[in-house]
Amino acid sequence: MYTYCMDKKDRTGTVYVIKHPETLEIVYVGQTVMELWQRLANHLSVARCAARSARGNNKMKDWLLRNNRPIIEPIVTKVPYGMLRRLEWVAIRAMLATGVKLLNDRVNYHCA
């Protein structure tokens, strides 16, 4: 999906969700140009190594300590690189509007 020699205009990515390993509830929305398994590995690596500050990292670290691995799933694939951030933002706002409680540690997505 992602090649370093590609121009940005030629790249595509994926908007994805991470689900709680036991309840299967959506807990995080993100976007990536990596393969999903690589992106999940990155999330887990950060969770294992990071100081306990970010709420999402704390949750993932707790799951890992209990031998539970979160689930990553695509919600939109083959998104042109230039639209990834915007589509991620739209997905986050849609989730929040339906009452989904996300772990995303970002700016306030409720803003206009």
What residue segments make up the domains of the chain, in order of their start? Answer: 11-97
SS3 5: coil
CATH class of 11-97: alpha beta
36-88 pLDDT, tens digit each: 999 999 888 887 775 555 556 677 778 877 888 899 999 999 999 999 999 99
CA atoms within 13 A on the CB side of 106: 14
DSSP string, 34-78: S-HHHHHHHHHHHHHHS-TTSHHHHHHHHHHHTT---EEEEEEEE
Q: What is the CB neighbour count within 10 angstroms for residue 6? A: 13
pLDDT at 20: 92
